[in-house]
A and B are shown apart, each in its own frame.
Chain A
Amino acid sequence: MKELDLYSFLTKKAKEIRRKTFEMVVRVGKGHLGGSFSVLEMLVALYYGGVLKFDPKNPKWDGRDIFILSKGHASNSLCVVLSDLGFFPEAELDNFSRNESILGQHSDTNIPGVEINTGSLGHGIGVGSGIAFGNKLDNKNNLIFVILGDGECQEGSVWEAAMFAGHHNLNNLVAIVDRNKLGSEDFTENTSRLEPFLGKWNDFGWEVKTINDGHSFPEIFEVLKNCRDPKRTKPLMIISNTIKGKGLSCLENFPRAHHTVPRGEEIEASRKELS
């Protein structure tokens, strides 16, 4: 696919995933739309843009890349992506967050295509580092992708893992921080400052790339196209600047967008925005 065609396809796909995620969440009135929408273009780029190696018919395929959504609350949109790709029937989305569903508010290994249990923050990068370390010992070439929230980076365990990955030069590890500037209740810079963020990862021994607009596919691919660079000697950190609740004016950049779900008249207004 030519670049422009790819971006056009991905833009349409992102719109479709955003709309489906919205409907899935408003149906039960519970969800994490803020973080699910900030990371959405990155998920679409990874899964539909030919970046991640995977096989929905054989989720445990040995040659696959390992993808970990460490900010497990953003699994609302990941579930829609996985069902769309055929990891499980789309009808399961109708049961989201209901009794007996495999789909809850966070992701776990009961969901086909999900590699590890995530939800409590600060775990994914450590487990991902362990997998990357093991794969290097086995001389395997597949990559380990971990998406973290920026608020998640206030967890100390993230920096223990960052030190470990830097120390062992885990160049098969690609971490992406969804830098939407917000935690659960407030801006990260108001609660426990992350900046200078890029410098911190640099100092921990990572190669760091920044995406100025994490909702722009050309910008995302400008960075992702080199993620398999065999010359890279360090773990790769991609800081993707995004907008929490992207696509919904009632949520965008709103401090409590973490688990606020549109209600009443907001629902129809949101549908129009997403259509």
Chain B
Amino acid sequence: MKKYTDIRDAIFEELYDIALKDKKVVILSADNGASIFKRFEENMPSQFFNVGIAEQNAMSVAAGLAFTGRHVFVVGIANFVTLRCFEQIKIDIASMEMPVTILASGTGYFYGEDGPTHHMTNNLAIMRTIPGLTLWSPSSFSMASHMIHQAYEKQGPSCIWFDRGPFSPLCEEIEGDFSEGAHLVRQGKDVLIISTGIMVGEALKVAEDLEKDGVDAGVLDIYRVKPLNKKILLEIFEKTEKIVTIEEHSLTGGLGSTICEFLSESGLLKPIKMFGIPDSVRYEIGNREYLRSLDGIDASHIVEEIKNWLKM
């Protein structure tokens, strides 16, 4: 696999190669742009279509194209290709197990300056309620490029939501085919910090800062949030004293909730502390670091909170 330094390259260069080999791969863009799309349009005009700013129809058309034996990739801004067309995904795609992969760009506060209409802070909460939908949340360029292949090979409904980065250099160094769904990026005996996507980088910062204060924290990256690799989670959680979850996502229904549900289902009793976005609308304008600090999900704030929590 090639090395990438840009998320769009990581996803769309690989998709381009897949589509060149398989004429039954079709890409629909909900008027979402990337420079590589010109190459798709020029070199495979019967496989790439900009269907306009109509995400509900994009999903229904994707289901129809899948009905004709195609694997369809639908590209758009995360909010609009998930929330706006939730029912089309649920009924037209997932309920009939159509091979459609949603490529959802910009998670959490990625579009921080664009205001609350563009904040994608509940994608995991809503999308994981759809049966049969595989959900990936890559934490590196390399991982994203592998996930495109997994989505293609899976031949079922799936969603990859991706960020432009920057991702943690440590995550970029990790190699593998990323088929396991979760990876222990850092070992630690005092507390296990769980995160996903771009926030794995923040979790690693937290772990490094905690180390300076004598706290040995591990970091677990759950890059496939549905279905969870329950076997791996059980193995890791059984050796874990305390759990922290960090996400740039609503605390309602997000990664922390997912872990709590898993603990309940598994009968494991572990103290857990969840960091995420409170149940409110952010009207403040600013970049994602600024908005994270307002919600208390920046590394420095999380470090202080964890230290206080561990003293209890």
Contacts and interface: CB of A to CB of B under 8 A. Distances in A.
A, B in one complex: yes
Interface of A: 66, 108-109, 115-117, 120, 122-123, 125-135, 137-138, 156-157, 160-161, 163-164, 167
Contact of A123 (B51, B54, B66, B88): B88
27 contacts: A109-B96, A116-B96, A117-B91, A117-B95, A123-B88, A123-B92, A127-B60, A127-B64, A129-B60, A129-B61, A130-B60, A130-B62, A130-B63, A130-B67, A133-B61, A138-B68, A156-B56, A157-B56, A160-B56, A160-B57, A161-B57, A161-B60, A163-B52, A163-B57, A164-B51, A164-B52, A164-B57
Contact of A127 (B46, B51, B63, B69): B63
Contacts of A108: 95
Interface in B48-102: 51-52, 54, 56-57, 59-70, 87-88, 91-92, 95-96
Interface of B: 46, 51-52, 54, 56-57, 59-70, 87-88, 91-92, 95-96
B64 A128 contact: yes
B87 to A, nearest CB: 6
A71 to B, nearest CB: 14
Contact of B91 (A115, A123, A131, A167): A123
Contacts of B88: 123, 126, 157
B64 A120 contact: no
Contacts of A133: 61, 64-65
Q: 5 smallest A-B Cβ distances: which pairs?
A: A130-B64, A126-B60, A134-B68, A160-B57, A130-B61
A130 B65 contact: yes
Given A117-B92, A127-B60, 10 more contacts: A108-B95, A123-B60, A123-B91, A126-B59, A129-B61, A130-B65, A131-B68, A134-B64, A138-B68, A161-B57
A131 B62 CA distance: 9
A135 B92 CA distance: 18
Contacts of A137: 46, 68
B92 A127 contact: yes
A196 B59 CA distance: 28
A135 B68 CA distance: 7
Contacts of A128: 64
Contacts of B68: 130-131, 134-135, 137-138
Nearest to B97: A109
A208 to B, nearest CB: 20
Contact of A163 (B54, B60, B87, B91): B54
Contacts of B46: 137
Contacts of A167: 52
B70 A134 contact: yes
A38 B196 CA distance: 52
